[in-house]
Structure formats: structure tokens, C-alpha cells
Amino acid sequence: MTMKQTVLRLAIPAALKHLLDIIQILIDMIMVGALGVSALAAVGLSMQFIMVIQALMSLYVVGSGVLIARYIGSGRRNRAAVVLNMAILFALAGAFIVGSIGWLFADDFFRWMGSGDDVIKLGSAYFKILCLGMGLIFLDALAYNALSSAGDTRSSLVIKIVSAVIHIGLNYLFIFGHGGFPAMGVEGAAYATLCSYTFNLLAYGWVLLRSNGVMKFVPLGSLRELKRMLHIGMPAAFERFAGSGSFLLFVGMIASCGTHTLAGYQIGLRVEALAFMPGFGFSVAAMALAGQYIGAKNYEYAYDSGILSAKIAMIFMGSVGVVLFAFPEFLVSWFTTDSTTIEQASLYLRFVGIVQLPLALTFVLSGALRGAGATRLSMQITILSLWIFRLIPSYIALKLGWGIIGIYSAMSFETLIKGWWFWKVYRKKEWLNHKV
């Protein structure tokens, strides 16, 4: 199998799974939206909390993925299984702590976000149910990443297809009360989510542990592997946390430009998510191959796999960028009929359409660096770029009265700089010798 075929074999299923994730979220929100604005806001805020929790998951997900890829590449599947064992124990402990905190303080979380009484009541009920199954959520993220790091993204796609059907079907039964089930509203949506996670976990377990699977079951653990996993994962988790905080500040500046501008930005993000699909897929491929080839001490292939992944991702995302720039009004019209909101969303899409090529570089090359274990380097580039070239210039543009044009200009410039920065660092090849 050629390297191009290997990259496509990993990237395409990962990209399609990402697309299904987006579609499932959209359908989920549409079905919950039928219950009213308060229900939609409650579930939407809960998803924001889950995004913060996902940043915490990077502690064990990224670190274990790097080590598993290296051990698979070097033929030490038993060591990969030991890493997975330690990651499972850490994930369960973390899920217990996070789930307990979420259960005890769910009402307070929604109150701190300035929610009304209806949203607090519905949101806390939904989030508490998710907290009961937090172990499923933590283990699902771990299993997907472990399987991808071992070089199998196709199984995850098949699991996701079945899981999405189960989730949507149970939503219909539980939310609205069909098939003999009582109408449970947002609580039904939460139960449907946990049921789909349960299926995922059972399916992932079977794929990972079957006799001819990518890893064998080894009832061993190692504190040394746990320390290495956390050492790699901490910068990645901090990058996610800092990125989430920076994102909130950026959205706050956009919100100050008016309601229509904020609504247009939110719609634009949903449309742009389609462009992220190939970038995400080739990022997964670059991350897995970098780790495996470095584990096999084939540094030339580790470098070349990232370059090839980036080139193909740039073709896909560049093509999408042309569509975003040329036909934004048509794309946005699927989400709203308000002319002012369409105008604002189209403005955003034209700006992001211009910078899809450097964005593809950022997606793929940062994935390769993480796959090599150079998570601290990726964190430094991401955080410094966000603050120096996006947030501070956006704030200055806002104070100078340049409005949303100034903010989007800073955003586009930062995307260009970050892509160039990752390219320069990648070309130096120092990350190939990073110790983990």
C-alpha cells in the first residue's frame, strides 16, 4: 500500500465520522428545539459545559494516543495495551470526579451563566443525567482515539453510523413519547445520548479486544506509562482550555457589534464546520502516522506522511473555501431568512473562505506534532498566535471603530500567520526527535 493510500485510508473514514458528528448534533438540536426555546437553550448550554470537559479529557486522550501509536509502530502491542489500561483507570477516576461535581452543582452552573428559571430547571435535569453516565463519555473519547492511533478509523465510522441511527431513533421515542414510552422531553434526549454512548463502548471494546484486533488484552498497569501519558497530555489540555477561553473573549467582541452580527457569526460557524471535515480527517491521519512511523524509527516517512496529508487537505479545504467565498448567501439561506443575518453570515464566510489553505496546514501539521508527542510546542504556537495576532488586534480594531470588518481581518491574518508558523516549525524537523 502506498503512503497516499495509507493516508486516505485513515483520513476519509475520520472525516466522514466528523461529518456524522455534526449532522447528529444538528438533528439533536432540531428535535429538542421542537420543545421550545428554553429546552433548546438548556441543551445548548449543556453542550458548552461538555466542551470544557472535553478539554480535560485531553489529559489522557492525547497522551495515550501518542504512546499507543509509537508502540504499535514499533511492534510492541502489549505495551500499547498497558497504556490503554492505565488510561481507562485514569478516565474512570476523572469521570467520577467530574460527574460528581456536575451532579452537585448543575443548578449553579446554569445560574452562573445568567440563565432564566426555565433554562436552569431543564438544563440541570439534562446535565445531571449526562453526569450519571460521565464514565461512558470519558471512555468513548479514549476508545476512539486509541483505535485511530492504532491505525483503524474505518471501524469507528461503522460504529458511528449505527450509533447515530440509535441516537436519533431513541430521541424520537424518548423525547416525544412514542412506542409506548412516556414523553420525557429534554431528559429523554439525555437518556438517548447515554444509550448511544453505551453502544459505542460495547462496540469499541469488541473491536479493540477481539483476537485479531489492533491490541491484545493485557491485565497489567504501569505508573511510568501513566506519568508519560500525563506529561504529554497536560500541554494539550492547557491548549484546549486556553483556546476555549480565548474563543469566548473573541465571541464577546463580536457580540458587541450587534445581535445580527453575532447571529450571522454563529450560522457561519455551522456552515464552516463542513470545511473542517477534511481537515479533521487528515489531522487524525497525520497524528496516527507520525506516531507510528517514529515508533518504527522511520523518521523520513513520519515527515513525508505529514506533508502528503497537508497537501491533500489543502486541495479539499481550498475547494471548499472557493465555495464559501463565491456562494455564501445560498449556504446561509438554509439556516435563516433574515436578510441582515444572511448579510453578516456571508461576510464571515467570505473571510474564512480566503484562508482555508493556511487553516488546512494548521489542522494537519499541528496533528502531526501532537502525534510525535510535541504537544508543548503545538500549545505555544496556538496560544501565542491567538493572543498576539487575533485577540489583541481585534480589541484594538474594535476600539478604533473598525467594527466587524476589523475583527474578521485580524482573525484571517492570525489564521495565515499560524499556518505559516506551523509550516516553519514542521520543516525544521526537530519535532521528529521529541522524547516522550
The enclosing H or E element of 291 equals helix 259-295
CA dihedral of 153, 28, 279, 237, whole degrees rounded to 10: -80
208 pLDDT band (50/70/90 cuts)? confident
Angstrom distance (rounded) from CA 115 to CA 42: 9
6 pLDDT band (50/70/90 cuts)? confident
What mean pLDDT, rounded, does the chain reach?
A: 89
Kindly state whether residues 260 and 219 are assigned to the same domain.
Answer: no
Kindly state whether residues 93 and 197 are assigned to the same domain.
Answer: yes
Which of 53-57, 285-289, 412-416 comes out lowest in average pLDDT? 53-57
Last residue of a domain, one of 177, 202, 223: 223
Kindly state whether residues 186 and 274 are assigned to the same domain.
Answer: no
Range 244-261 average pLDDT: 83
pLDDT for residue 311: 94
Instruction: Reply yes or no on whether the pLDDT at 217 is more than 70.
Output: no
* pLDDT per position as a tens digit, 354-377: 999 999 999 999 999 999 999 999
Kindly state whether residues 199 and 332 are assigned to the same domain.
Answer: no
Kindly state whether residues 152 and 36 are assigned to the same domain.
Answer: yes
Kindly state whether residues 197 and 279 are assigned to the same domain.
Answer: no
Count of domains forming the chain: 2
Number of helical H runs and strand E runs in the chain: 16, 0
Assess if residue 229 is contained within a domain.
no
Assess if residue 40 is contained within a domain.
yes
* CB-based contact 135:96 (threshold 8 Å): yes
Kindly state whether residues 284 and 136 are assigned to the same domain.
Answer: no
160 pLDDT band (50/70/90 cuts)? very high
Assess if residue 396 is contained within a domain.
yes
Assess if residue 236 is contained within a domain.
no
129 pLDDT band (50/70/90 cuts)? very high
Last residue of a domain, one of 172, 204, 223: 223
Assess if residue 230 is contained within a domain.
no
Which of the two residues, 95 and 211, has the higher pLDDT score?
Answer: 95
Kindly state whether residues 288 and 178 are assigned to the same domain.
Answer: no
Instruction: Reply yes or no on whether the pLDDT at 214 is more than 70.
Output: no
212 pLDDT band (50/70/90 cuts)? low
Instruction: Reply yes or no on whether the pLDDT at 46 is more than 90.
Output: no
Assess if residue 326 is contained within a domain.
yes
Kindly state whether residues 192 and 84 are assigned to the same domain.
Answer: yes
259 exposure class (CB count in 10 Å sphere: 0-12, 13-18, 19+): exposed
* CB-based contact 144:79 (threshold 8 Å): no
* pLDDT per position as a tens digit, 75-84: 888 888 889 9
Which of 7-11, 43-47, 250-254, 325-329 comes out lowest in average pLDDT? 43-47
80 exposure class (CB count in 10 Å sphere: 0-12, 13-18, 19+): buried
Kindly state whether residues 356 and 419 are assigned to the same domain.
Answer: yes
Using a pLDDT cut of 70, give the percent of the chain over it: 97
Range 265-285 average pLDDT: 84
Range 252-278 average pLDDT: 82
Q: Which domain holds residue 212?
A: 1-223
Assess if residue 244 is contained within a domain.
no
pLDDT for residue 122: 87
Instruction: Reply yes or no on whether the pLDDT at 33 is more than 70.
Output: yes
Assess if residue 246 is contained within a domain.
no
336 pLDDT band (50/70/90 cuts)? confident
pLDDT for residue 216: 63
Angstrom distance (rounded) from CA 82 to CA 215: 10
Kindly state whether residues 412 and 288 are assigned to the same domain.
Answer: yes
Which of 19-28, 96-105, 339-348 comes out lowest in average pLDDT? 19-28
